[in-house]
């Protein structure tokens, strides 16, 4: 039996997380619906999709696929494309995973949160602060973190790129593997960047599912709400509503609804309101 959906996502070097790992989580829960392929494995998109009812493009910046994703290549292909607003065009069946991002960008058609499903096996005994280091994305957050922790001996673990200023730092570890990271840390720090609008940072969900303490510091005045605020609203209500098991029935419904979900933007004030009415 052919699977309904072909999910395509980009794998970023050695980093074992992001849109690829979240898609992999969903595929493992719904193996009869989803086939997942890396963008570099797709030679001819039109030929690849013939065996599926729909292609779902997960990575939110089209040119990162390196396979010619644009309005021409998708014109005759049934698709849902997760996309940042600056790359969106009316002909896309566009989608985002962030509530406030969806509310603020009315030309995006679908709202489908991607909730990870991380499983950790290690219960750390000693305090270890975790930070996801991506200076090319949220530069000000990384500068804030380096300035805050470079001159002390508090145990730190970073994920993502290697912070060169920490090379000679005592009590510092680094990994590119999310399972190792969220198994070892006790505290996850994710500053509210004033430069980068983050639709929905799944790493905070992963930290919550792994039972970690969360710190979302304000590092300057922000003129917007984004996915960090989505998750902060959930934490204030009940962090358990971001556990994957809460969402399984909802995902089953979406997978049987052509992987579309149009939300009435006037009906809900925040993600918690929407979850209580539509998910739980």
155: left (phi over 0), alpha (psi -120 to 50) or beta: beta
Q: What's the confidence (pLDDT) of residue 38?
A: 92
Contact yes or no for 244/209 (Cβ under 8 A): yes
What is the residue-wise DSSP string for 145-213? HHHHHTTS---EEEEES--GGGTT-TTEEEESBHHHHHHH-SEEE--B-SS---S--HHHHHHHHTT-E
Q: What's the confidence (pLDDT) of residue 15?
A: 67
Question: Coil, strand or helix: which one is 50?
Answer: helix
Contact yes or no for 156/184 (Cβ under 8 A): no
Q: Which of 68-77, 101-110, 126-135, 220-229 has the lowest mean pLDDT?
A: 68-77
Distance CA 99, CA 80 (A): 17
Beta bridge partners of 7: 36, 56
3-state helix, strand, coil in the chain (%, to 5): 35, 15, 50
Stretch 65-85: mean pLDDT: 91
Q: What's the confidence (pLDDT) of residue 19?
A: 86
Q: What's the confidence (pLDDT) of residue 196?
A: 95
Beta strands in the chain (DSSP E): 5-9, 34-38, 54-57, 79-82, 94-96, 110-111, 129-133, 156-160, 172-175, 187-189, 213-215
CA Rg value for the chain = 19
**Mind listing the pLDDT tens digit for each residue in 158-203?**
999 999 989 888 899 999 999 999 999 999 999 999 999 999 999 9
Residue 13 has pLDDT above 80, yes or no: no
Under the banding of pLDDT at 50, 70 and 90, the label for residue 79 is very high
Q: What's the confidence (pLDDT) of residue 66?
A: 78
Residue % of the chain over a pLDDT of 70: 98
Distance CA 214, CA 217 (A): 10
Under the banding of pLDDT at 50, 70 and 90, the label for residue 121 is confident
Q: What's the confidence (pLDDT) of residue 16?
A: 63
What's the distance, Cα to Cα, between the start and end of the chain in Å?
31
Residue % of the chain over a pLDDT of 90: 80
Residue 17 has pLDDT above 80, yes or no: no
Q: Write down the domain spans for the chain.
A: 5-117+244-279, 129-242
Per the prediction, the chain carries an average pLDDT of: 93
Between residues 137 and 12, which one has the greater pLDDT? 137
**Mind listing the pLDDT tens digit for each residue in 94-118?**
999 999 999 999 999 999 999 999 9
Distance CA 152, CA 155 (A): 9
Q: How does DSSP classify residue 102?
A: H
């Amino acid at each position: 039996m052919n699977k309904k959906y072909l999910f395509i996502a980009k794998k970023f070097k050695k980093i074992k997380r992001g849109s690829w790992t979240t898609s992999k989580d969903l595929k493992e829960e719904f193996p009869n619906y989803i086939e997942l392929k890396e963008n570099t494995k797709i030679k001819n998109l039109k030929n690849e999709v013939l065996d599926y009812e729909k292609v779902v493009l997960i990575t939110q910046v089209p040119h990162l696929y390196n396979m010619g994703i644009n309005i021409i290549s998708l014109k005759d292909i049934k698709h849902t494309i997760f996309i940042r607003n600056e790359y969106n065009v009316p002909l896309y069946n566009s989608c985002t995973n962030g509530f406030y991002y969806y509310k603020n960008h009315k030309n995006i058609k679908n709202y489908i949160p991607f909730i990870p499903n991380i499983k950790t096996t290690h219960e750390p005994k000693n305090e270890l602060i975790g930070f996801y280091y991506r200076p090319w994305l949220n530069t000000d957050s990384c500068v804030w973190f380096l300035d805050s922790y470079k001159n002390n001996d508090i145990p730190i673990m970073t994920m993502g790129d290697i912070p060169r200023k920490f090379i000679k730092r005592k009590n510092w570890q680094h990994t590119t593997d999310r399972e190792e990271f969220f198994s070892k840390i006790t505290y996850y720090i994710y500053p509210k960047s004033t430069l980068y609008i983050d639709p929905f940072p799944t790493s905070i969900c992963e930290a919550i599912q792994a039972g970690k303490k969360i710190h979302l510091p304000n590092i300057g005045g922000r003129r917007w709400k984004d996915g960090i605020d989505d998750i902060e609203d959930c934490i204030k209500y009940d962090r358990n509503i971001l556990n994957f098991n809460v969402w399984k029935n909802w995902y089953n419904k979406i997978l049987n609804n052509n992987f579309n979900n149009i939300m009435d933007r006037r009906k809900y004030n925040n993600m918690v309101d929407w979850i209580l009415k539509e998910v739980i």
